[in-house]
Amino acid sequence: MKTFVLSAFLAAFLTGAFFVPAANAQDTTATTKVAIAAPSATTPAVSSKNLPIYLDHDLAKKHADFTRFAKVRVKAMDRNHRLAKSRMQITKLSNGSYKALYHAIDYATVVCKVRRSSSKSIPYVAILSYREMIMETTALSPEKCRTGEFKPVSIIPNRQIFSHKKGRWQ
């Protein structure tokens, strides 16, 4: 008898819970007026010159292409720098200790910007910005300098301009 009463109570409770949202629902037969934006005679025609950046798919493709190009370029510049970590400059100081320094690009500061150009021969122009850090440490020997803890002592801001010509970035 207990199970019958419990199951009847549970059934009544659950069916009541399902009807509450329907009772609180709004009337769907009411109509609401919605204003629709329509172009007027004074609205300029949309072209590649005044197209919003988020809708310009060609510009987005060129930005993605330039970003890939820039990543490869920045890694090569970091690796081939005259004072890269593999070619760090070690000098002996007057007190007998040694100072080592090298240049490194901070990859977190790399920013790529691409825009359309007014030139017909060069349709896109890009700017690559990044910061180059001068890292330095001191130690009692050149070997300890190479494995020492380097700290940034100076930051050099860099900006390079590239153009997209004949299907590639230059």
Residue 32's CB is within 10 A of a number of other CB atoms, namely: 4
Over residues 153-169, the pLDDT tens digits come to 999 999 999 999 888 99
pLDDT at residue 119, rounded to an integer = 87
Hey, which bits of 82-150 come out as E strands?
89-92, 98-116, 124-139
pTM (global) more than 0.75: no
Q: Count Cα neighbours of 154 within 13 Å in the Cβ-side half-sphere.
A: 7
Structural tokens at position 151:
């700290």
Over residues 103-150, the pLDDT tens digits come to 999 999 999 999 988 888 899 999 999 999 999 999 999 999 998 899
Radius of gyration of the chain (CA): 33
pLDDT band at 45 (very low <50, low <70, confident <90, very high): low
